[in-house]
Amino acid sequence: MAEKERGGFTSKFGVLMAVAGSAVGIGNIWRFPYLAGQNGGAAFIIIYICMVLLIGLPIVLSEFSLGMAAGAGPIKVVEKTTGKKNSPWNLIGYLSALVGVLLIGYYAVVSGWVLRSVEVSIEGEFMTQTTSEIRESLSEFTSSIGWPIFYGILFLGISSLIVRKGIKNGVEKWSKILMPALFVMMILLCINSMTLEGWEKGVDFLFNPDWSKVTGRTFIDALGQVFFTLSIGMGVMITYGSYTGKDENMFKSKGFASIIDTSVAIFAGVAIFPAVFTFGLEAGQGPELVFVTLPTVFSQLAFGNIYAILFFSMLSIAALTSIISIQEMLVTLAEDKYKISRNLSTLISFVIGGVMVVACAASSFAFDSCDYLTANVFMPLCGLLIVLFVGWGMGRKLLYNTFTADGKYSTKIFSIFLFLVRYLAPIAIILIFLSGLGII
Ligand code: PHE
């Protein structure tokens, strides 16, 4: 059987760590804190959590169920579930491929900055630099082009070595090691944060909403962040679902993975903002929050260097398990579509990713476009198609059987899930889209 040869996850813990590993990434530790910082802290977090529950989680569940029911990656799901070869729903597969290609280079470039920050922290450079010196040296680095390309491709290379090994000995094995390490580092950083003078101010910022900063843009940013952080709207969860055995308590395990993802984002805020306030720095710094502001904070802490190494290593781990999932999706897609070997498809994805790294490192226009187009346009669009297909196209019975493992789990939740997937999630995505375009 072809399905058997595909291999797959061998334990429930492995699936959980891989799904959480994909979800927890630069999005949680770099993107989330700066978006929250710019959009009024707690107010953004409340909007974001509502969207995770009403839109994000239903899509995670839809994608996973779809992949599991089909036993194939995004390019083949429609054919495998409906038997139709040429269906307009196949757009799901093509959009996934497009998002994967746009995302992988951008993600590797940012991950490269993280690797470089690990190196700088190990060398102890942050400890002797002022904020403006740190900013200058970062911008010197990013504008040198050659170095960001080097680090980005290095990162992609590490990911390729893991993905090449297949699910069991690649993604599963490494997620089970790396994710627990990440949790331990996160806890240490939060404990450190509690000892700082700015603790109360930081916590107040994170948990006391300032609604005056909320605009239409806040909703778009929050929706984009939900897609980005949960790795949805590009077939990653479809792919992981396709490698998962049928006896899965879907709601429980994906619910748990989403809780882990949201918690890590909030803990990242807890680790970062008290430190920022302790030294009177700006919370609404934007993208440089983690790469400039935070090292400044570390340089002023006792044992700051150790925290810097810890923080950036944690971020590298988070980034690695995420980029692995992006590459895994592309590799599965190529394997399914062209029936080529894993080695060859990994090599092809490495080359395509490498080209995208060069583009994103060399041009800030390419970099910004990849960020904006994936999170705020194509992922929501692909997510919309996925919920519509799962809700209306794939057949209620097949969905029910996959979601509940043939009536074993979460049978009552199924109707709420179906309602969200059929009506609420698509309508919400469309409304937020239209308001983003200024139409409503
Ligand atoms: N979820 C990852 C993060 O938060 C990014 C990602 C998006 C990974 C899409 C895979 C697919 O950083």
28, 109, 290, 322: residue to mutate for ligand 1 pocket, most atoms within 8 A of CB: 322
Atom of ligand 1 at shortest range from CA of 230 = 1
Q: How far is the CA of 242 from the centre of ligand 1 (A)?
A: 18
Q: How far is the CA of 231 from the centre of ligand 1 (A)?
A: 4
Q: Which residue's C-alpha comes closest to atom 6 of ligand 1? A: 231
Q: How far is the CA of 98 from the centre of ligand 1 (A)?
A: 15
Residue 23 Cβ < 6 Å to ligand 1: yes
Residue 234 Cβ < 6 Å to ligand 1: yes
pTM flag (> 0.85): yes
Residue 32 Cβ < 6 Å to ligand 1: no
- pLDDT tens for the chain, 440 residues: list them: 344 468 899 999 999 999 999 999 999 998 999 899 888 899 999 999 999 999 999 999 999 999 999 999 999 999 999 999 999 999 999 999 999 999 999 999 999 999 999 999 999 999 999 889 999 999 999 999 999 999 999 999 999 999 999 999 999 999 999 999 999 999 999 998 899 999 999 999 999 998 998 888 888 889 989 999 999 999 999 999 999 998 889 999 999 999 999 999 999 999 999 988 998 888 888 788 899 988 988 888 888 899 899 999 999 999 999 999 999 999 999 999 999 999 999 999 999 999 999 999 999 999 999 998 998 889 999 999 999 999 999 999 999 999 999 999 999 999 999 999 999 999 999 988 887 777 76
Residue 325 Cβ < 6 Å to ligand 1: yes
Query: 287, 234, 237, 243: which is closest to 258 by C-alpha?
Result: 237
For 201-256, the DSSP string reads: HHHHHHHS--GGG--HHHHHHHHHHHHHHTT-SSSHHHHHHHTS-S---HHHHHHH
Atom of ligand 1 at shortest range from CA of 228 = 7
Q: Which residue's C-alpha comes closest to atom 9 of ligand 1? A: 231
Within 8 A by CB and 6+ apart from 310, the residues are: 185, 188, 189
Q: Which residue's C-alpha comes closest to atom 11 of ligand 1? A: 231
Phi/psi at 197 (nearest 5 deg)? -60, -35
Within 8 A by CB and 6+ apart from 213, the residues are: 38, 39, 40, 41, 43, 44
Q: How far is the CA of 34 from the centre of ligand 1 (A)?
A: 16
Query: 405, 335, 413, 407: which is closest to 69 by C-alpha?
Result: 405
Question: What does the alpha-carbon distance between residue 251 and residue 70 come to, in Å, rounded to a whole number?
Answer: 18
HSE-CB for 137 with a 13 A CA cutoff: 16
